[in-house]
Amino acid sequence: MAILEILEAPHPILSQNARPVRPDELGPALQQRLSDMAETMYAAPGVGLAAPQVGDLRRMIVCDPGAGEEDEGRTLYLMVNPVIVERSKEMIEGDEQCLSVPEIVVRVKRHLRITMEWLPQGEPKRQDFEDWPAIVLQHELDHLQGSTLYDRASSLKRSRYLRSRKKAMATEYAR
């Protein structure tokens, strides 16, 4: 297992659409990649991570909406080619953060309930998600569509974020 580098906005990979995982890609190498993504997510620490965030433009997500809580409230999902097949009309609004856009908090409206389908290990899976897990998954699905919280932030927040990133990079290069 390995900790992968998490790309930060405005990295160009983060604005690209991820492609579906092909059937010939299913297997041990893909499972290893998902395991590495999960290890990276937990180490960050985070509750979700999409493949584009680690430079992989395939439709894959790992998430554990209960990360940071007691073990009994945690479930790790390894999702290949995830899609939302149903959405509630009822919406929920809350503050979100992102591993690829550190230092920004954005208020986002999401569907309260979603039904998703994906391939966990090559076998189709379908499940309903509500509240926090639904929010986490919708956030990660945004990454697969080439969208981050950076894109949802106000122009003021984006410019402050870019200034702080440039300052951090200048400090890092000065070492």
pLDDT of res. 1: 72
pLDDT of residue 93: 95
Q: Full-prediction pTM beyond 0.85?
A: yes
Structure confidence at residue 71 as a pLDDT band (50, 70, 90)? low
Pairwise pLDDT comparison (128 vs 120), residue with the higher score: 128
- Examine the pLDDT at 170 and tell me if it is beyond 80: no
The CA R_g of the chain, rounded to the nearest whole Å, is: 16
The pLDDT score that the predictor gives to residue 72 is: 63
pLDDT at 131 over 70: yes
pLDDT at residue 174 in the model:
61
pLDDT > 80? residue 69 = no
pLDDT at 165 over 90: no
Set 69, 72, 123, 140: catalytic member:
140
Q: Mean of the pLDDT values across residues 28-40?
A: 96
Reply yes or no on whether 86 is catalytic: no
Taking 90 as the threshold, does the pLDDT of residue 108 lie above it? yes
Pseudo-torsion of CA 45, 51, 52, 58, nearest 10°?
180
Mean pLDDT for all residues in the chain? 91
- Please state, in angstroms and rounded to a whole number, the distance separating the CA atoms of residues 91 and 74: 24
Residues 138-155 pLDDT 10s: 999 999 999 999 999 999
Q: What is the pLDDT of residue 115?
A: 98
pLDDT tens, residue by residue, 74-105: 899 999 999 999 999 999 999 999 999 988 99
